[in-house]
């Protein structure tokens, strides 16, 4: 039996205590079967830790803890108790920001500069969520003198949350903060490749006595067993999922059997449109942030670039030069590294497969296209030109630092091309013409439109998809709808 906490030394030389158990009832515990799985660093391919895996019986323990916490008081916790708790979590994340950013880079492979951004946004989301605590309420509905009618907004109960590996801390935050502020309790499953940062935040919550036992329970494990047990558990009232579209469909189908509410944040193949009248430097930075931020492992990555014919040659040459010479790929812990390692060997192989497919389909490689000749899962920033719109590399989500570039002539043409996708998570518009931006923003079918920027998140701005990119919204006021149900009360007088 391995201990429930192990010392881990970070690349900056500091050592911290990493929990490895399941966080249930404010304690780190062993699962019944005491099985572990290995977590490796994608940048070195070396082992970081073994963490404990939850099976059906452990999912049930976590659900019972969450149910008890819900019924035992959290379902109608005083608003200011929630404000204080979520504010405290935000403070703790900020106090431990450097450690958390290092854990995130170590576990996910992303660059430290990207990880620091994730940590800052996580703290903001907790702090902003805390502010909703005393502002959630129903309405009085004026239905005449014979009745008094009003609504209440009530929590759902125990929520199951299943998160991916590309933003382990941020996805934990996006799920947990709104669920708690709306008086729900949670059982969250981390991704099997990136469990460390969420467990570390649970340790901070435990040590500082932030929440009553059972309000938040975090378990580790794989989709087929642990994730599946969440989708099947009859006590869980809602499942919130972020990950691939295929898994999202499977989860929704599973949840139908017990009629759980479901919100999904899924994949994308988002267009980023560069018009002739764009500021070329701004457009270049948007294109770079769109695809190389977080090593391209971003659901809303701007992975289809559309460049207008008047600037096509000049822009594409600049972009290829930047990708080849200015995007620093490699050791995530070097301050100027933009693009770290891909998260896993599986993911690396998937991306390399798409690069080969692109070449086989007849697209022209303008930059990158290969793995770095060193240990770790690194891929050179890759650009494909001469693509045809029906190629698989234009249609399918690659989830890596690979972008396709297409030329267009008119606004109508590019709106049609941009919208020709089953997905609809995000889109970018790069132009100095404000009328055109507003018009095109209205016509694009996507949940987020970035104008003269890209992958630019804010804790007050809702995020989520149209079409096959999902349902429900994260952040902002909209996310509260994911975790509340309306009760109407009509009283005869």
Name which of 177 and 426 has its Cβ closer to ligand NAD: 426
State the minimum distance, in angstroms, from the CB of residue 249 to ligand NAD. Answer: 10
Handedness of CA 23, 28, 33, 38 (dihedral sign): positive
Across 98-129, b (16+ Cβ under 10 Å) vs e yields: ebbbbbbbbbbbbbbbbbbbbbbbbbbbbbbb
Name which of 439 and 456 has its Cβ closer to ligand NAD: 456
What is the full DSSP assignment across 405-445? EEEE--HHHHHHHHH-SS--SEEEEE-S-HHHHHHHHHHS-
| Rg of the chain, C-alpha, whole Å | 23
State the minimum distance, in angstroms, from the CB of residue 447 to ligand NAD. Answer: 12
State the minimum distance, in angstroms, from the CB of residue 145 to ligand NAD. Answer: 52
CB under 8 Å to 347, separation ≥6 — which residues?
297, 377, 399, 400
**Assigned token pair, 185:** 């309790």
Q: In angstroms, rounded to a whole number, what is the distance separating the alpha carbons of residues 279 and 256?
A: 48
SS3 for 145? coil
Catalytic residue among 53, 192, 265, 397: 265
State the minimum distance, in angstroms, from the CB of residue 40 to ligand NAD. Answer: 15
**Assigned token pair, 19:** 């929990």
Name which of 54 and 484 has its Cβ closer to ligand NAD: 54
CB under 8 Å to 409, separation ≥6 — which residues?
308, 309
396 is catalytic: no
Residues that bind ligand NAD (CB under 6 A): 162-166, 189, 191-192, 222-224, 227-228, 231, 242-244, 247, 250-251, 266-267, 299, 347, 350, 397, 399
CB under 8 Å to 349, separation ≥6 — which residues?
none
State the minimum distance, in angstroms, from the CB of residue 302 to ligand NAD. Answer: 14
Length of the chain: 493
Residue 434, CA atoms < 13 Å, CB-side half-sphere: 0
State the minimum distance, in angstroms, from the CB of residue 381 to ligand NAD. Answer: 18
Name which of 244 and 324 has its Cβ closer to ligand NAD: 244
Name which of 200 and 399 has its Cβ closer to ligand NAD: 399
Name which of 227 and 376 has its Cβ closer to ligand NAD: 227
SS3 letters across 269-300: CCEEEECCCCCHHHHHHHHHHHHHHHHHCCCC
Q: In angstroms, rounded to a whole number, what is the distance separating the alpha carbons of residues 299 and 296?
A: 9
Name which of 101 and 266 has its Cβ closer to ligand NAD: 266
State the minimum distance, in angstroms, from the CB of residue 175 to ligand NAD. Answer: 11
Q: In angstroms, rounded to a whole number, what is the distance separating the alpha carbons of residues 251 and 248?
A: 5
Q: In angstroms, how far is CA 228 from the centroid of its own chain?
A: 20
State the minimum distance, in angstroms, from the CB of residue 231 to ligand NAD. Answer: 5
Other CB atoms closer than 10 Å to residue 431's CB: what's the count? Answer: 22
Name which of 166 and 308 has its Cβ closer to ligand NAD: 166
Residue 277, CA atoms < 13 Å, CB-side half-sphere: 9
Residues annotated catalytic, as ranges:
265
């Amino acid at each position: 039996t391995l201990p429930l906490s192990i010392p881990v030394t970070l690349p900056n030389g500091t050592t911290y205590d990493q929990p490895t158990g399941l966080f249930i009832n404010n304690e780190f515990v062993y699962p019944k079967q005491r099985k572990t799985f290995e977590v490796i660093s994608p940048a070195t391919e070396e082992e970081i830790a073994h963490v404990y895996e939850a099976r059906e019986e452990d999912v049930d323990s976590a659900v019972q803890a969450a149910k008890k916490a819900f019924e035992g008081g959290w379902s109608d916790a005083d608003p200011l108790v929630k404000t204080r708790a979520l504010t405290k979590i935000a403070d703790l994340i900020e106090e431990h920001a450097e450690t958390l950013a290092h854990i995130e880079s170590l576990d996910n492979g992303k660059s430290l500069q990207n990880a620091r951004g994730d940590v800052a946004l996580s703290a903001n989301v907790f702090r902003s969520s805390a502010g909703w605590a005393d502002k959630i309420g129903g309405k009085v509905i004026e239905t005449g003198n014979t009745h008094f009618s009003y609504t209440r907004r009530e929590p759902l109960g125990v929520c199951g949350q299943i998160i991916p590996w590309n933003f382990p801390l941020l996805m934990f935050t996006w799920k947990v903060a709104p669920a708690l502020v709306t008086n729900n309790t949670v059982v969250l499953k981390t991704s099997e490749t990136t469990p460390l940062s969420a467990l570390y935040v649970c340790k901070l919550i435990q040590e500082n006595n932030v929440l009553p036992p059972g309000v938040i329970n975090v378990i580790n494990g794989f989709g087929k067993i642990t994730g599946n047990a969440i989708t099947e558990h009859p006590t869980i009232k809602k499942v919130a999922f972020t990950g691939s579209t295929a898994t999202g469909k499977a989860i929704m189908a599973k949840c139908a059997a017990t009629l759980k509410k479901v919100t999904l944040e899924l994949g994308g193949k988002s267009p980023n449109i560069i018009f002739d009248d764009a500021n070329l430097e701004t457009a270049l930075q948007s294109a770079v942030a769109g695809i190389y931020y977080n090593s391209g492992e971003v659901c809303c990555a701007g992975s289809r670039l559309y460049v207008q014919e008047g600037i096509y040659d000049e822009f594409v040459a600049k972009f290829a030069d930047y990708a080849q010479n200015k995007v620093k790929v490699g050791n995530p812990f070097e301050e100027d590294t933009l693009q770290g390692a891909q998260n896993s060997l599986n993911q690396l192989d998937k991306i390399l497969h798409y690069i080969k497919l692109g070449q086989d389909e007849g697209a022209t490689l303008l930059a990158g296209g290969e793995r770095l000749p060193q240990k770790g899962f690194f891929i050179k920033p890759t650009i494909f030109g001469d693509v045809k719109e029906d190629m698989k590399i234009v249609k399918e989500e690659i989830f890596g630092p690979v972008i396709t570039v297409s030329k267009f002539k008119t606004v109508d043409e590019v709106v049609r091309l941009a919208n020709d996708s089953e997905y609809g998570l995000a889109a970018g518009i790069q132009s100095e013409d404000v009328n055109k931006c507003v018009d095109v923003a209205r016509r694009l079918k996507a949940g987020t439109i970035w104008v003269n920027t890209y992958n630019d998140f804010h804790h007050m701005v809702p995020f989520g998809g149209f079409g096959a990119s999902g349902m429900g919204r994260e952040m902002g006021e909209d996310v509260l709808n994911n975790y509340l149900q309306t009760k109407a009360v009509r009283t005869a007088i």
